[in-house]
C-alpha cells in the first residue's frame, strides 16, 4: 500500500507561510494554510526590497550571511513559480542607490562600501554628478552615492499572489480562521484549536504567524510597526521616460527613507519604525514624515498621486535574527524575520521542508534556532497553563 502523504498545518499565510506551504506540497505533503486575515500581515505591507547587505546592521554577520544565501534561492523560486503558473513575480534587477546629503551620510556610505567590499560584493562610489546621472530627478542637495548593483526588489503583492496560485496548484488548501491554541497529545503537538472551538489535526504544525506568533508559543517575537505609502507616477511624467529606475535610499532629518519603483509606475515610500505593540493604524504624523522625506529626496514626488497608506508589524526578535526550528514533536516554528521576511521566504521554505521531512537543515540556519531564547522564554513569560501538559518545550 502506498504511504500516506505527511499532513501539515501551516499557521499564517504571509510570505513565510505561503512559501513553506508551497514547498512542502511540491515535495508531496498534504498541506492546509490557516490564516485569520487573508494574508494581510507584514508581507502585504512590505516594500519588497531584496537587499541582503543594505538592510543588515554592522555586527550582524551571521544574519548577513543568511540574507546573502537567500538571494539566489529567491531568484530560483521566482523562476520556478513562473514556470509553474506562467506569472512573473515582478523582480527588478537595477540595484539600490544609497545617497548622501552631507559628510555624515558620506561617512556612513563609506562604511557600507567597506562592509560590502569585505563580503566580496561589488560597490561603486559615485560623486554627486554621477549619482544624478543615474537618477536625474534626485534632489540637487544630493552630494554623492553608492550603487549596490546586485540588490533586487520584488513586487511583494504580486509575489504573494503567484505563490498562492502555485500552492493551490500543488494541492494546498486554505482555511480562514484564528488559531487560539495548540492541541497537545501523547506524541507532542497534534493540531490547533480555532477561536470558534474547532480542532484541526495534523502530524506537524508549522507556526508562521509573523509578529503574532508570540501569542501561541513562548518566544520573544515583538511587533515593530512600519507605516508605508504607495504613490503613482502620473502618465504625463512617465511619458518622458522613467522617473525612478532603481531603489533609492537616503537619510533625511535622521530618518531612513527609501523609494522602490514598481513595474507599471507605482513607487513605494517607506517606512517608519515604531514600537507601538500590535497597533497597525496609519497616523497623520507617519504619512507626513514619509511624504516630507520623499520630497526632500525626490522633489518631483510631490506631483505623484496618492494611492495608499498602510502599516504592518515586522516580526522583531531580540537579536534581529529569524527563529527557525523544531519546538516540540509535531511543532516547527519559522518567524522573527523582522526587516527581511520577503527576502528570506524562499530560503526559509527550503529549511522548513527539510526539517519537516527529517532531512538536514542548511548550516547557515544553526545560529537561528529557537533554543537561543530558551532562558528568555522561561523567565519573561507567564507560566504554562496547568491544563496543558509540559511536554511541548517552549510552547504555551
Ligand atoms: C513597512 C514594512 C516594510 C518592509 N519591507 C521589507 C522589504 O523591503 N523586504 C523584506 O524582505 N522584508 C520587508 N519587511 C519585512 C517583512 O514584511 C516581514 O519580515 C515578513 O512579511 C514576515 O512574513 P510572515 O509571513 O512571517 O508574517 P506576516 O506577513 O505578518 O504573516 C503572518 C500571517 O499570520 C497570520 N496569523 C498570525 N497569527 C495567527 C493566528 N493566531 N491565527 C491565524 N492566523 C494568524 C496573520 O493573519 C498573517 O497573515 C517589511 C515590513 C514592513 C512592515
d(CA 75, CA 72): 5
Q: Grid coordinates standing for 144?
A: 554623492
Check residue 386 and give its pLDDT. 29
Q: What is the pLDDT of residues 50-89, one digit of tens each?
A: 999 876 666 788 999 999 999 999 999 999 999 999 999 9
Reading the block at residue 159, the C-alpha cell is 509575489
What pLDDT does residue 253 have? Answer: 86
Which of 264, 291, 316 is the C-terminal boundary of a domain? Answer: 316
CA torsion 323-325-331-333 (nearest 10°) is 20
Choose the final residue of a domain: 300, 316, 332.
Answer: 316
How many distinct structural domains can be found in the chain?
Answer: 2
Return the HEC string of 255-274. Answer: EEEEEEECCCCEEEEECCCE
> Residue 53: which of 128, 122, 136 has the closest Cα?
122
- Do both 386 and 298 map to the same domain? no
Whether ligand 1 lies within 6 angstroms of the CB of 230 is answered as: no
Helix extents (H) in the chain: 15-26, 42-45, 61-85, 103-118, 128-134, 156-169, 235-238, 284-297, 341-356, 374-380
What is the maximum alpha-carbon separation in the chain?
Answer: 72
> Which pLDDT value is given to residue 389?
30
**Residue 309 CB–ligand 1 contact under 6 Å:** no
How much distance in Å is there from the Cα of 22 to the middle of ligand 1? 17
The residue with cell 509606475 is 265
For residues 75 and 21, membership in a common domain is answered with yes
Return the CATH number at 291.
3.30.9.10
Per-residue pLDDT of the chain (396 residues; tens, 9 = 90+): 556 679 999 999 999 999 999 999 999 999 999 999 999 999 999 999 999 987 666 678 899 999 999 999 999 999 999 999 999 999 999 999 999 999 999 998 998 888 888 888 888 999 999 999 999 999 999 999 999 999 999 999 999 999 999 999 999 999 999 999 999 999 899 999 999 999 999 999 999 999 999 999 999 999 999 999 999 999 999 998 899 999 999 999 888 999 999 988 999 999 999 998 999 999 999 999 999 999 999 999 999 999 999 999 999 999 999 999 999 999 999 999 999 999 999 999 999 999 999 999 999 999 999 999 987 654 444 333 323 333 223 333
Query: Could you tell me if the CB of 56 is within 6 A of ligand 1?
Result: no
The dihedral formed by the CA atoms of 205, 208, 212 and 217, expressed in degrees to the nearest 10: 40
Q: If you measure from the C-alpha of residue 210 to the centroid of ligand 1, how many angstroms do you get, rounded to a whole number?
A: 5
The C-alpha cell that represents 76 in the structure block: 530560483
Q: Residues 216, 288: one domain?
A: no
The answer to whether residues 80 and 100 belong to one domain is no
321/191 Cα distance (integer angstroms): 27
Residue that is last in its domain, among 291, 316, 341: 316
Rounded Cα distance, 58 and 394, in Å = 30
210 lines ligand 1 (CB under 6 A): yes
Spatial neighbors of 53 by CB under 8 A, at least 6 apart, are: 64, 67, 68, 112, 115, 116, 119, 121, 148, 151
Question: Residue with the nearest Cα to atom 44 of ligand 1?
Answer: 35
Q: Which atom of ligand 1 is the closest one to the Cα of 49?
A: 8
On whether the CB atoms of residues 156 and 15 are closer than 8 A, the answer is: yes
What are the tens digits of pLDDT across the range 179-195? 999 999 998 999 999 99
Q: Is 156's C-beta closer than 6 angstroms to any atom of ligand 1?
A: no
Do residues 210 and 14 lie in contact, with contact meaning Cβ atoms separated by under 8 Å?
Answer: yes
Q: What is the pLDDT of residue 1?
A: 54
- In this structure, are 321 and 393 located in the same domain? yes
Identify which of 233, 251, 250 has the alpha carbon closest to the alpha carbon of residue 242: 233
Instruction: State what percent of residues in the chain have pLDDT above 90.
Output: 83
- For ligand 1, say whether the CB of 116 is within 6 Å of any of its atoms: no
For residue 212, report the distance from its CA to the centre of ligand 1, in Å. Answer: 9
Residue 244 shares a structural domain with residue 312:
yes
Distance CA 323, CA 338 (A): 10
- The residue assigned the cell 537587499 is 51
For residues 62 and 156, state if they share a domain: yes
Q: What angle do CA 254, 49, 178 make, to 5 degrees?
A: 100
**Domain coverage including residue 304:** 92-151+223-316
Determine contact, residues 27/357, Cβ cutoff 8 Å.
yes
| CATH number of the domain that residue 199 is part of | 3.50.50.60
- Over its C-alpha atoms, the chain yields an Rg (Å, rounded) of 22
83 and 156 together in one domain: yes
Please tell me whether residues 75 and 179 are part of one structural domain.
yes
Are 299 and 194 within one domain?
no
Q: How many whole angstroms separate alpha carbon 184 and alpha carbon 378?
A: 19
Q: Do both 8 and 63 map to the same domain? A: yes
Q: Do 15 and 118 lie in a common domain?
A: no
In short, whether 261's Cβ falls inside 6 Å of ligand 1 is no
- Taking the alpha carbons at both ends of the chain, their separation in whole angstroms is 38
pLDDT at 286: 97
The response to whether residue 290 sits with its C-beta less than 6 Å from ligand 1 reads no
Q: Give the predicted TM-score (pTM) of the model.
A: 0.94
Amino acid at each position: 500500500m502506498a504511504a500516506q502523504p505527511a499532513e501539515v498545518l501551516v499557521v499564517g499565510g504571509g510570505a513565510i507561510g505561503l512559501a513553506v506551504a508551497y514547498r512542502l506540497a511540491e515535495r508531496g505533503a498534504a498541506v492546509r494554510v490557516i490564516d485569520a486575515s487573508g494574508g494581510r500581515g507584514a508581507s502585504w505591507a512590505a516594500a519588497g526590497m531584496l537587499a541582503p547587505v543594505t538592510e543588515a546592521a554592522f555586527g550582524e554577520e551571521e544574519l548577513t550571511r543568511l540574507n546573502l544565501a537567500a538571494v539566489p534561492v529567491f531568484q530560483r523560486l521566482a523562476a520556478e513559480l513562473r514556470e509553474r503558473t506562467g506569472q512573473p513575480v515582478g523582480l527588478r534587477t537595477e540595484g539600490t542607490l544609497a545617497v548622501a546629503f552631507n559628510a555624515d551620510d558620506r561617512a556612513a556610505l563609506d562604511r557600507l562600501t567597506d562592509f560590502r567590499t569585505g563580503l566580496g560584493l561589488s560597490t561603486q562610489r559615485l560623486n554627486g554628478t554621477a549619482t544624478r546621472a543615474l537618477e536625474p530627478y534626485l534632489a540637487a542637495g544630493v552630494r554623492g552615492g553608492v550603487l549596490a548593483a546586485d540588490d533586487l526588489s520584488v513586487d511583494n503583492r504580486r509575489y504573494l499572489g503567484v505563490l498562492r496560485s502555485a500552492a493551490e496548484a500543488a494541492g494546498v488548501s486554505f482555511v480562514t480562521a484564528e488559531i487560539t491554541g495548540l492541541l497537545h497529545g501523547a506524541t507532542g503537538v497534534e493540531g490547533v484549536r480555532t477561536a470558534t472551538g474547532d480542532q484541526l489535526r495534523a502530524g506537524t504544525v508549522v507556526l508562521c504567524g509573523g509578529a503574532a506568533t508570540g501569542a501561541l508559543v513562548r518566544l520573544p517575537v515583538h511587533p515593530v510597526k512600519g507605516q508605508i505609502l504607495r504613490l503613482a507616477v502620473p502618465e504625463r511624467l512617465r511619458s518622458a521616460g522613467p522617473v525612478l529606475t532603481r531603489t533609492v535610499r537616503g537619510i533625511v532629518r535622521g530618518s531612513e527613507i527609501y523609494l522602490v519603483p514598481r513595474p507599471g509606475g507605482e513607487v513605494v515610500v517607506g517606512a517608519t519604525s515604531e514600537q507601538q505593540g500590535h497597533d497597525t493604524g496609519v497616523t497623520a504624523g507617519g504619512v507626513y514624515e514619509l511624504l516630507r522625506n520623499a520630497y526632500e529626496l525626490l522633489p518631483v514626488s510631490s506631483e505623484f498621486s496618492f494611492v495608499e497608506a498602510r502599516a504592518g508589524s515586522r516580526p522583531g526578535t531580540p537579536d534581529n535574527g529569524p527563529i527557525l526550528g523544531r519546538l516540540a514533536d509535531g511543532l516547527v516554528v519559522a518567524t522573527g524575520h523582522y526587516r527581511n521576511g520577503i527576502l528570506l521566504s524562499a530560503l526559509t521554505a527550503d529549511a522548513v521542508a527539510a526539517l519537516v521531512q527529517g532531512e538536514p537543515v542548511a548550516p547557515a540556519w544553526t545560529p537561528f534556532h529557537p533554543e537561543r531564547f530558551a532562558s528568555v522564554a522561561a523567565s519573561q513569560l507567564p507560566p504554562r497553563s496547568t491544563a496543558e501538559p509540559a511536554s511541548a518545550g517552549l510552547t504555551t
